[in-house]
Amino acid sequence: MLGMMSDQLRGFGCGLAAPMNKDQGNITDHKMKTVTLRIDDSINDKFFRLLGHFSPNEIKVLDEWEYSSDDEYLRSITGMVESIKEERNEPIEKGVTLDKLAW
């Protein structure tokens, strides 16, 4: 089920910034909220038409990128798959326990 859902939810990411309320004026002069969304391809055009109803002082698209799952992202890094496979063969005694990690 999860595999099917992730295929259906492919889209792209979009970072938006907007003033906390519309009475605050220029987007660069006031405290703003930044929201990261994952937008399904099937509503992409509708979503950007909706954003077109706002002025650049109200909402600004900060960034846009093609969405990829964590698995797709890790596989795209040269050598990552091989590194993970190698580390699986390491004895557990060579590992670090959670309480020893510096968070």
Q: Where are the domains of the chain?
A: 2-91
**Pairwise CA distance, residues 101 & 4, whole Å:** 35
Q: How confident is the model at residue 58 (pLDDT cuts 50, 70, 90)?
A: confident
Q: Among all chains, which residue has been given the structure tokens 């089920």? A: 1
Output the pLDDT for position 61: 83
Is residue 7 pLDDT above 50, yes or no? no
**0.75 cut: is pTM over it?**
no
Across the chain, mean pLDDT equals 75
User: What type of residue sits at position 59?
Assistant: I
- pLDDT, tens digit, 9 for 90 and up, residues 69-101: 889 889 999 999 999 998 888 888 888 888 888
